[in-house]
Amino acid sequence: MTTYSQKLKDPRWQKRRLKILERDNWACQTCGDTEETLHVHHLWYEDGEPWDSPDEALQTLCASCHETDSIERAESEKTLLDVLRRAGLDGGDVHALACAFQYLRLPCDVDMCLFIFGIEIFAGTKGSRQAFIEASKAVREARLKVARLRRS
Binding site for Zn ion (CB under 5 A): 28, 30-31, 33, 62, 65
Complex with Zn ion: residue 64 or 125, whichever CB lies closer = 64
The answer to whether residues 60 and 41 touch, using CB atoms and an 8 Å cutoff, is yes
- Compute the least distance from the CB of residue 107 to Zn ion, in Å: 17
Complex with Zn ion: residue 41 or 122, whichever CB lies closer = 41
Smallest CA-to-CA distance from 139 within 128, 56, 113 is with 113
Q: How many CB atoms lie within 10 A of CB 89?
A: 19
Pairwise CA distance, residues 46 & 28, whole Å: 23
Pairwise CA distance, residues 28 & 38, whole Å: 7
- Compute the least distance from the CB of residue 33 to Zn ion, in Å: 5
Complex with Zn ion: residue 10 or 33, whichever CB lies closer = 33
- Compute the least distance from the CB of residue 73 to Zn ion, in Å: 15
